[in-house]
Structure 1
Amino acid sequence: MLHMAYFYVMARETAYPVKKLVNLTEEQARRISDFRFSQRLQSENEAIRSLIEIGLGIADADRQEKS
């Protein structure tokens, strides 16, 4: 019965529940790493999310400009 407490522990919700696997070239990986360190981001995942947000913002602005 010592292990019963384990069953009462619930998994914590994550801020990023969707996971994607992306293949990168060596150049892309290096540029992401350079961006991460220049922005002083804590993780590579955070750098990738930031770059995606930047790109999506530019794409949205470009689309609105064309319409």
Structure 2
Amino acid sequence: MATDKPRYTVSVDTDMFKQIEDFRFERRFQTRSEATAELIRLGLEALKKEQEEQKKAQKNKSSQKDIE
């Protein structure tokens, strides 16, 4: 099955491989690649949310100092 999507290979340890496989079967992804891409997407979303919360906390901290 040809695709125009960029491709790369990633190596993981046995434990992480099992976790990916468990995620794949629990969520009923047809391929390991689909499951891995979803895990990456979820991780990137979580990272973005964490960064936004940190910026918000810093902004609130600066606002607190201005009030004092």
TM-score tier after normalising by the smaller chain length: 0.7 to 0.9
Structure 1 residue 27 corresponds to structure 2 residue 15? yes
Aligned residues: 54
Unpaired segments ≥5 residues, structure 2? 56-68
CA distance in 2, matches of 1:23, 1:40: 22
Q: Of 40, 44, 55, which aligns to 1:52?
A: 40
Q: Distance in 2 between matches of 1:51 and 1:17?
A: 17
Moved over 4 A (4+): none
Q: Percent identity among equivalent residues?
A: 30
CA distance in 1, matches of 2:20, 2:42: 13
TM-score by length of 1: 0.75
Write out per-residue CA displacement over residues 5-44 of structure 1, whole angstroms, 9 at most, x where no aligned residue: xxxxxxx6x2x52111111000000000000000011000
Structure 1 gap ranges (5+): 1-11
